[in-house]
Amino acid sequence: MDNNKNLSDIESELFALVNSITNLYQKYQQGIINDSFFRKALKNAMKGLLKIKLFFNEKNISLSEVLIYMNFIEQYNRAVKIFKEIYILNSPEESIEIGNNNIQSFDNELRNSILELPGITSEITASFITLMDALKLEGLASSDLILKLFKELKRNLKKFPGLDLIQLEVDEIYNRAVKNKQNLIKNKSFRDIIVERLYQIFKEFQQKLNLNP
């Protein structure tokens, strides 16, 4: 997602992605494309929709209000319903729908279910906490554990679309740690600085996804 795009560009991208999901589903039902291709293409399209959702979050724009303005709620519901039928519920009756009376419910449900975000979010949270706890340990014989936990955090962040800036911040801290392996072992003040910076990034992660109560 290009943060320099204007709202009309994002609306056009939203329109294209939703129609792409619908068209893919029709071709899948007609047997024109196979199951493997359909699932991969569907997941990629939904990643695009999630990036749009995160972009709107950053700009304090309501996705629901945009859909209403575009008169595009029904089409968007259809795309989300297709995704949930294929990946999550296998039941059309249980799919999420959006209307003027349940917009907030839709926003929450979308954020918490799309692309198995609860599991990915938990992995990222656990990685942050485990790494910060390890950095607080005294008596480490080598930097191997710390660097291994850094790599695990980096891998988990890559699973979640739309976290490019957070990934960059973690990469910068990781590179600094790699260049100062002895300080990771012997210098508590150095480790404390890294812990504080990681905690700040962790809070950014929570705020970006509106995970805080």
DSSP string, 63-93: HHHHHHHHT-HHHHHHHHHHHHHHHT-S-GG
Q: At what angle do helices 63-70 and 35-58 cross, to 10 degrees?
A: 110
For the stretch 89-121, pLDDT in tens is 443 333 334 444 444 444 444 444 454 555 677
> Domain residues of the chain, as ranges?
7-101, 117-208
CA atoms of 130 and 166, how far apart (whole Å): 17
pLDDT band at 2 (very low <50, low <70, confident <90, very high): low
Q: Tell me phi and psi for residue 189, to 5 degrees.
A: -65, -40
For the stretch 163-203, pLDDT in tens is 888 999 999 999 999 999 999 888 999 999 999 999 999 99
CATH class entry, domain 117-208: mainly alpha
CA atoms of 202 and 196, how far apart (whole Å): 10
For the stretch 26-64, pLDDT in tens is 998 998 888 888 888 887 888 788 888 878 877 888 787
pLDDT band at 3 (very low <50, low <70, confident <90, very high): low
